[in-house]
Amino acid sequence: MATSAENLVGSPETLVDAYRRVRADTIRLIRDLQPEDTVIQTMPDVSPTKWHLAHVTWFFECFVLGVHQAGYSPYDARFHYLFNSYYNSAGKMHPRPRRGELSRPTLDQVLDYRKHVDEAMCGLLATDDVSHDVNAVVTLGLHHEQQHQELLLTDIKHVLSRNPLQPAAVQSSARSPGTSPGSYTFSPGEPGIVRTGASGEHFCFDNETPRHDTLLPAHEIGDRLVTNGEFREFIASGAYQDAPLWLSDGWSTINEYSWNRPLYWDDALETEFTLCGPVEIDAHAPVCHISYYEADAFARWSGYRLPTEFEWEHAAAAHSVHGNLLSSDNWHPIAANGASQLFGDVWEWTASAYSPYPGFRPLDGSLGEYNGKFMCNQMTVRGGSCVTANDHIRASYRSFFYPDARWQFLGLRLAKDRHG
């Protein structure tokens, strides 16, 4: 019997079938792009689409085929330098801010590279004696590719937003405006010691471990995300000029870059750029593309605070993964319409710095560079977004960004302390 990918997808899908599916999903995301779209880099945080397609392929070639496939011949040995990202122990790499300088290999060559690696990988995975080590690295690699599916979409959104023609990344009909979610309400979170982190029953990243006890104070957490309409009120109040609302670094940042609204909103606060091109801002949909500084200032302006990542996880653990995720094909946040929005729509800034759990140990070897070395100067976000794969997200999932990041689908939920 072929090796099962049950820990990846929660079903008895074989590993080779999971591999084919995830790899095909990536190609589906670029179906409406032109080759010229795939080569541009508009800022250091953004990578060209073509680079994403090649990098996730390099991951399988480097960490699976190069280690576990006897006699494997690399497609082009020079690609190891071009498409390594941050694995210093695996060798030198082309500088991240200069990925947009790579006109070659062409998109066609990158797609041929993917085909070459896919044929070798499917041959390896179709055998009956796939080792536990191969299964583990391939499963990690598929989740890694799903992360890059999201990055590919958020990066191409930034690229296309800089084009005066305001082109769309996907051809799609406009979404109907959502209904008003009503006043902002909270649900109680009982105080006490709770278990935090992945249980180990299914796949997880190393930064979700080990599972441990966390003490929660008495608190309440918002029943939905903050909306565009509510954030408009924040802007209209003069909050971007109100220094006491802001953390010191936040105040410096918004003044240095002249921020006065979310990324992709127009000056009139009427339209926003989306992966489907410019659309009218839906007042009832979750606000997105805001920094941690803006999320924190909004919470303070509202008289509340951001939840900690542990408060968020405790609330989310009681819910199944369901929401406006990648398979919904909206590729943009939508109004709650009664949903809690704990999964999908936007990654939610939390008040928690991205740091190791007690007893954390990274993976051995080069793959230990995946998460642990970034546990400094970043903030934890939770919940996934409208471009997160459905079988990739879970309550224990921790992602992280620098507090000034805005190009990802980043929004917020409110929380408050409960006394008495």
Q: Which domains does the chain have, with CATH numbers?
A: 6-161 (1.20.120), 186-417 (3.90.1580.10)
How many helices (H) and strands (E) the chain has is answered by 11, 13
- Token digits of residue 137: 């690295």
Convert 352-419 into a string of H (helix), E (strand) and C (coil).
EECCCCCCCCCCCHHHHHCCHHHCCCCEEEECCCCCCCHHHCCCCCCEEECCCCCCCCEECCCEEECC
Q: What is the DSSP string of 31-80?
A: TT--GGGGG---STT---HHHHHHHHHHHHIIIIIHHHSTT---S-TTHH
Residue 5, pLDDT score? 53
DSSP secondary structure string for all residues of 266-302:
-TTSSEEEETTEEEE--TTSBP-S--HHHHHHHHHHH
Torsion 214-369-345-355 (CA) sign: positive
Q: Where are the beta strands (DSSP E) in 137-250?
A: 186-189, 192-196, 212-216, 219-222
Question: 325's torsion region: left (phi>0), alpha (psi -120 to 50) or beta?
Answer: beta
Q: How far apart are CA 278 and CA 177, in angstroms?
A: 14
Asked whether the CA dihedral 327, 332, 337, 341 is positive or negative, the reply is: positive
Say what the pLDDT of residue 356 is. Answer: 95
Q: In this structure, are residues 290 and 231 in contact, taking their beta carbons and an 8 Å threshold?
A: yes
Q: Say how far apart CA 48 and CA 360 lie, in whole Å.
A: 33
Q: DSSP label at 216?
A: E
User: How is residue 139 written in tokens?
Assistant: 């499963």
pLDDT of 319: 92
Which has the closest alpha carbon to 170: 179, 178, 162, 160? 160
Quick one: 190 exposed, middle or buried, by C-beta within 10 A (0-12, 13-18, 19+)? exposed
Angle between helices 228-236 and 292-302 (to 10 degrees): 80
Distance CA 413, CA 323 (A): 15
Find the distance separating the first CA and the last CA of the chain, reported in whole Å. Answer: 58
Nearest CA among 399, 398, 393, 397 for reference residue 10: 393
Question: What SS3 class is residue 110?
Answer: helix
Residues of the chain with pLDDT under 70: 1-12, 172-176, 420
Q: What is the pTM (predicted TM-score) of this model? A: 0.95
- Which residues on neighbouring strands pair with residue 271, listed in sequence order? 280
Strands 343-344 and 323-324, bridge-based pairing: parallel
The SS3 assignment for 333 reads coil
> Which helix (H) or strand (E) element contains residue 348?
strand 347-353
Quick one: which of 324, 296, 264, 265 has its CA closest to 404? 296
- 401-410 per-position pLDDT tens digit: 999 999 999 9
Strands (E), 306-345: 323-324, 343-344
Q: Which pLDDT score, from 0 to 100, does residue 274 have?
A: 96
